[in-house]
Amino acid sequence: MSSYMERTERLDWPGWRPFFLVAALYDLVLGAVFMVFGEQILDWIGMELPPHIAYIQLAAVFVFVQGLSYLFVYFDPPANLGLVRVGVVYKAAYAGLALWYLVIGLLPSGFFIPWAVVDVLFMIGFLLFLRAATRSRQG
């Protein structure tokens, strides 16, 4: 029987680290930009502003924190598999909700579609990483 360390060494963790750095930077920057310029962005795309800036900032800070979680994965992939699982749910939730509102004709702006596509691509990457990590841990 092989040890946990031997099993985790079979996966090319360093090969996945740049992917998680990109995922981290994507959400950190996106969250920070919407935190600071959310009202201007919504105004620019022609969306009606919410009654208070907190509606934008609360969502933006959540995106920022998700980016921080991917930064933890970047620094130590084997120790943060749970954060990747949460990331799968997060990416699926955003993309699924955007698709739902698009299908029922209530998506406030097409501006949100590219972000949903990018989230699906990240989600696929997360799932591939988790599959590789599971195979590595099984021996």
> 62-121 pLDDT, tens per residue?
999 999 999 999 999 989 999 999 999 999 999 999 999 999 999 999 999 999 999 999
Give the integer Cα–Cα distance in Å for 132 and 58: 34
Render pLDDT for 22-67 as a digit per residue (tens, 0 to 9).
999 999 999 999 999 999 999 999 999 999 999 999 999 999 999 9
Tally of domains within the chain: 1
Domain containing residue 64: 4-138
Decide: 63 and 30 in contact? Cβ < 8 Å.
yes
Residue among 137, 138, 135, 132 at smallest CA distance from 20: 132
